[in-house]
């Protein structure tokens, strides 16, 4: 009887092994859960870093663009050409009888005369001119005649010269935006890529500089000759590759 009691109080070696195995499994589960939470936290931190960098890049590029346009106002068409009517009209805008524009009157009003090409036959415009006669029994009789006028062999572009001035001013403004945004963008790329140590801020400043360079280039891209486009793209590519090597070496 005592032997039975003594045996029942001593744990078997198998039960000890089971407990040890359960403890190991519990530790493994805790370790896996901790790793999962750590991975989730790291992914969330990277997402915040990327979002912050994107926000800084967009805001910086907008700041550069609006700052340049605030300091140097972009020319507007209405500041050069005050005409609110069709600039290619055939009739005088201030004429009460709507007489047709001729080459002499066009040039006198500051427009450019453009002759039609390939027109051989004379063209005419017919208008009915009616004068009321005496009314009898409440009825009015109209006396109408057909007025035939030869059409001019061309048309007048009243806004030609003011439009040239506007396009010239627009080109000068685009060139200024291209130069300033390029300089500011390259400085931002160097500062964000090589100087700033905070990853989110540095990446955002560098991205904003790249967007500023792209913005300025697009504003003046149509006026650049082909060789200038190749040179600009080559310079930007060389700077980005050089900065990439510097970042990887660190």
For residue range 62-101, list pLDDT tens digits in order: 999 999 999 998 898 888 887 555 555 544 444 434 456 7
pLDDT of residue 195: 82
* Cα distance between residue 63 and residue 80, in whole Å: 28
When comparing pLDDT for 149 and 18, which is higher? 149
Q: Looking at the DSSP assignment, which residues form a beta bridge with residue 132? A: 142
Percent of the chain with pLDDT over 70: 60
Model confidence band, residue 7 (pLDDT cutoffs 50, 70, 90):
very low
* Cα distance between residue 248 and residue 250, in whole Å: 5
* Cα distance between residue 9 and residue 32, in whole Å: 36
Q: DSSP state, 233?
A: H
Least confident of 15-19, 195-199, 206-210: 15-19
Helix (H) or strand (E) holding 12: none
* Cα distance between residue 177 and residue 179, in whole Å: 6
């Amino acid at each position: 009887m005592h032997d039975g009691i003594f045996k029942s109080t001593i744990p078997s070696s198998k039960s000890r092994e089971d407990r040890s195995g359960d403890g190991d499994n519990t530790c493994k589960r805790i370790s896996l859960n901790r790793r999962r939470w750590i991975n989730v936290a790291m992914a969330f931190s990277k997402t915040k870093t990327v979002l912050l960098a994107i926000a800084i890049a967009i805001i910086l590029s907008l700041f550069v663009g609006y700052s340049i346009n605030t300091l140097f106002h972009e020319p507007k068409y209405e500041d050069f050409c005050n005409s609110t009517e069709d600039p290619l009209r055939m009739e005088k805008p201030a004429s009460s009888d709507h007489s047709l524009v001729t080459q002499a009157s066009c040039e006198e009003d500051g427009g450019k005369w453009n002759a039609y090409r390939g027109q051989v036959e004379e063209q005419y415009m017919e208008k009915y001119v009616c004068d009321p006669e005496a009314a009898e029994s409440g009825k009015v009789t109209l006396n109408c005649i057909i007025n035939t006028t030869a059409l001019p062999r061309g048309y007048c572009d009243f806004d030609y010269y003011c439009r040239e001035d506007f396009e010239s001013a627009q080109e000068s403004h685009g060139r200024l935006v291209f130069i300033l945004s390029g300089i500011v963008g390259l400085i931002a790329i160097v500062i964000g890529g090589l100087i700033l140590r905070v990853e989110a801020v540095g990446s955002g400043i560098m991205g904003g500089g790249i967007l500023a360079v792209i913005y300025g280039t697009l504003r003046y891209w149509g006026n650049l000759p082909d060789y200038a486009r190749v040179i600009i793209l080559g310079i930007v590519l060389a700077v980005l590759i050089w900065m990439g090597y510097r970042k990887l070496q660190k």
